[in-house]
Amino acid sequence: MAQIDIIGSGHMARGIAVRMLQGNHKVRILGRNGNQTRELVESLGPGATGAYAGSAIESPVVVLAIPHRETKTAILEYGSGLDGKTVVDISNPIDYTTFDRLTTAPGISAAEETASFLEGRADVVKAFNTVFPKTLETGTVAGQPLDVFIAGDSETAKRKISALTAESGMRPIDAGPLRRARELEAFMLLVMGLQVNPEHERFNWDTALKILP
């Protein structure tokens, strides 16, 4: 049984927490909105606890379930508390007003930015950016386990997140080094563009990616 600290109390925080709890792990939600955090923890039930944003990090795995634009602020806020941790970046740096561009500079991913902010103090893993809250809560798509693409430069950190993913009923797929997050994030720009396009009636926020044999 592992413990995971999840920074954020929104829909993705809920989805990831549900899956981790299904894997018999414990989660702690660190949210800035007290009422929202309390409601989330209460709805998650046994195995879930909550704390205010900025509270001391207690877990070896920290999930940044926050928008890309808030990552640097969160890293500064938690400071040395992130040292030695495995930090999971789930963000998609997309312009949500148009869904037609990434907000990162060319040649770098949001996950690589996260790693640069941490300056080597923690291992950064890209994961969960290709899944959505509702499918996370069910853990399946078309009756099959969700695929979770994982990228990172630390093999130990990737194995750790892969194990948590598998134990939570999903299929981890090693996508390679952290720079592969560029392709994972860019692909989600395409996917989200299809989801919001009214010409594609069957694509919506319940869509999930699955690689089939």
Q: How many domains does the chain have?
A: 1
Please, which residues have CB within 8 angstroms of residue 61's CB and are 6 or more apart in sequence? 2, 3, 4, 5, 85, 86, 88, 160, 161, 164
Flag whether 188 is in a domain. Answer: yes
- Give per-residue pLDDT as tens, 33-84: 999 999 999 999 999 999 999 999 999 999 999 999 999 999 999 999 999 9
Flag whether 213 is in a domain. Answer: no
Flag whether 206 is in a domain. Answer: no
- Domain hosting residue 68, numbered range: 3-195
Return the beta strands (E) in the chain as ranges: 3-7, 26-31, 48-52, 61-64, 86-89, 123-126, 140-141, 144-145, 147-152, 171-176
Flag whether 90 is in a domain. Answer: yes
Flag whether 55 is in a domain. Answer: yes
Flag whether 28 is in a domain. Answer: yes
- Give per-residue pLDDT as tens, 138-171: 999 989 999 999 999 999 999 999 999 999 999 9
- Give per-residue pLDDT as tens, 84-141: 999 999 999 999 999 999 999 999 999 999 999 999 999 999 999 999 999 999 999 9
Flag whether 203 is in a domain. Answer: no
Flag whether 201 is in a domain. Answer: no
Give the pLDDT confidence score for residue 205 in this predicted structure: 84
Choice between 17 and 204, residue whose per-residue pLDDT is larger: 17
Q: What band does 25 get if pLDDT is binned at 50, 70 and 90?
A: very high
pLDDT at 199 over 80: yes
Domain CATH number, residue 116:
3.40.50.720
Q: What is the pTM of this model?
A: 0.96
